[in-house]
């Protein structure tokens, strides 16, 4: 299998493709038979274990009362549905594991949202320049993933409070 990302000038175009590249070339007159199944939807079915899914992503200016911030700092809030993290207690300690391709991450926190069954990760990202930032985040407990991986490409030049070219 080979995964290809074709360049495009907009994220509205379907530019990802996956194709099979057989080890042996097709021979004229030969016949190959294939069978496959396609599934899609908002809920991924897993036979192994259920992981917490991302249900919301929010971002805004990272201003707090009494804490003025630079224009280049953005606050991210990511909510995961709480599947009681694989049947464990509501008091289970977990952490957000976050990686950024560039910039500085501050104030990373993980909490359970009272009254609704969400696990929430918050962090501030400070970047300079208009280049995109690739972000990856998942929940972990004792070194084991407890959620799907959230992927986000942040474009600093598109936010009204961000750095512009």
- Asked whether 154 and 163 are in contact (CB, 8 A), the reply is no
CA–CA gap between residue 35 and residue 128 (Å, rounded): 49
- Give the domain ranges of the chain: 54-158
* Least confident piece of the model among 10-14, 119-123, 153-157: 10-14
CA–CA gap between residue 134 and residue 142 (Å, rounded): 25
Kindly tell me if the per-residue pLDDT of 70 is higher than 70: no
Kindly tell me if the per-residue pLDDT of 142 is higher than 60: yes
Per-residue confidence band for 165, with pLDDT thresholds at 50, 70 and 90: very low
The secondary structure of residue 86, as a DSSP letter, is H
pLDDT average, residue stretch 79-105:
77
Task: Spell 83-106 as b/e; 16+ CB within 10 A means b.
Answer: bebeeeeeebebbbbbebeebeee
Fold of 54-158: Immunoglobulin-like (2.60.40)
CA–CA gap between residue 41 and residue 128 (Å, rounded): 37
Q: Please tell me the predicted confidence (pLDDT) of residue 163.
A: 52
């Amino acid at each position: 299998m080979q995964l290809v990302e074709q360049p495009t000038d907009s994220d509205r175009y379907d530019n990802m493709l996956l194709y099979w590249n057989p080890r042996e070339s097709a021979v004229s007159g030969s016949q190959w038979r294939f069978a496959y199944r396609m599934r899609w939807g908002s809920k991924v079915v897993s036979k192994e274990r259920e992981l917490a899914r991302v249900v919301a992503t929010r971002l805004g200016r990272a201003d707090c009362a009494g804490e003025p911030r630079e224009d280049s700092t953005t606050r991210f809030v990511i909510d995961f549905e709480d599947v009681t993290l694989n049947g464990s207690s509501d008091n289970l300690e977990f952490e957000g594991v976050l990686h950024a391709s560039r910039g500085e991450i501050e104030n990373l926190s993980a909490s359970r949202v009272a009254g609704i069954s969400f696990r929430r990760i918050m962090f501030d990202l400070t970047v300079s320049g208009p280049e995109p930032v690739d972000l990856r985040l998942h929940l972990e407990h004792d070194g084991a993933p407890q959620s799907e991986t959230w992927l986000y490409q942040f474009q600093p030049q598109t936010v009204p409070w961000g750095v512009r070219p």
